[in-house]
Amino acid sequence: MEKAREVLVIGGNRYFGKRLIARLLAAGDRVTVLNRGSSPPPPGTVHLVADRDDEKSLTDALGSRVFDVVVDQVCYTPRQADVARRIFTGRTRRYVMTSTVEVYEYEDAPALVREGAVDARTVHVDLDLPWTEPEFLTAHYGEGKRQAEAVLAADPAFPYTAVRVAHVLGGDDDFTGRLDHYAERIRGGTPISVPTDNRPATYIHVEEIADFLFWAAGEDFTGPVNAASHGLLTTQELCDAVAAHVPDGKAVFQAVEVGEVSPFSFRRSYGMDNSRAARLGFPFGRTRQWLPRAVAETLGKGD
């Protein structure tokens, strides 16, 4: 009988994070959840409270604990990655960072983008930028993740992988309000603002990304890996799926040259090539097959 793994999950108590924890527990893993204490973790886990931005707080909370796997759901900045790399070097055999498709914000490729388009080993890191200021971090989300990956990649011996997650859909606990944004406008006949040149993107279902992170925790590959279902979606296709849950609903679009646009409408391509993960053995689903279910889960059958 295999020994149960010791797994640490940093942050991520909601949405796909809680689904990941459920999968780990179901597999018999011993799961420790570390967060700031703002929300309790699921039953069956060990709870540690620490400020992950404070190295001493993090070190004190961890004590002498070691882990087979660390899944870091809330590493947003190079400072956080710098602290994590120091603390977890020699303390874990595998460190999985949840990254994002937004790391490709400067790579507007005509085709699906592969991991090599952003080589973290060549990304400039600036620890002195105001990473602790919420407005700055929000405005530089993709750059924060890029630089966080770069910090981890700088040590060839550090056993990390960065899961670059596509835009996530589905679940009745989707807290982002992005599909609700479309439903409200379709219901009220309000124009939906989109870029003049509106580009498609890849997506992943909330259950599929939880499956992916669980799978990645048990593998031994390193470096970045894209996590996206097969197939691009346009804003029109997404809105058509939403309109199916709104009586007599029909999306009306308003193209804008500059200014704020609706979520899931993009001036540049955010399509990711998922062939590396597929070659490594993960079986992705197809976006168009799970999209109706995802919309129904989030909006409810009555919408």
Find, among 177, 180, 202, the residue nearest to 190 by Cα: 180
pLDDT interval class at 3 (50, 70, 90): confident
Per-residue model confidence (pLDDT) at position 248: 85
- Give the chain's domains with CATH numbers: 6-170+201-229+269-285 (3.40.50.720)
pLDDT interval class at 2 (50, 70, 90): low
Percent of all residues in the chain with a pLDDT value above 70, rounded to a whole number: 98
Residue-averaged pLDDT of the chain: 93
pLDDT single digits (tens) 124-157: 999 999 999 999 999 999 999 999 999 999 999 9
- Region of 247 (left: φ > 0; alpha: ψ -120 to 50; beta: rest) is beta
Between β-strands 192-195 and 167-169, what pairing exists: parallel, antiparallel or unpaired?
unpaired
Per-residue model confidence (pLDDT) at position 302: 41
pLDDT single digits (tens) 161-199: 999 999 999 999 898 899 999 999 999 989 999 999 899
Q: What is the pTM of this model?
A: 0.95
Find, among 185, 142, 179, the residue nearest to 263 by Cα: 179
Residue 98, H or E segment: strand 95-100
H helices present in the chain, as ranges:
16-26, 55-62, 78-88, 134-139, 141-153, 178-188, 206-217, 235-243, 275-280, 287-299
Give the type of residue at 209. Answer: I
Q: Say how far apart CA 265 and CA 235 lie, in whole Å.
A: 6
Task: State the virtual CA torsion across 55, 41, 14, 147 in degrees, nearest 10.
Answer: 20
Asked if residue 252 lies in contact with residue 192, where contact means CB atoms within 8 angstroms, the answer is yes
First to last CA, the chain: 48
pLDDT single digits (tens) 10-50: 997 889 999 999 999 999 999 999 999 888 888 999 999 99
Asked if residue 197 lies in contact with residue 235, where contact means CB atoms within 8 angstroms, the answer is no
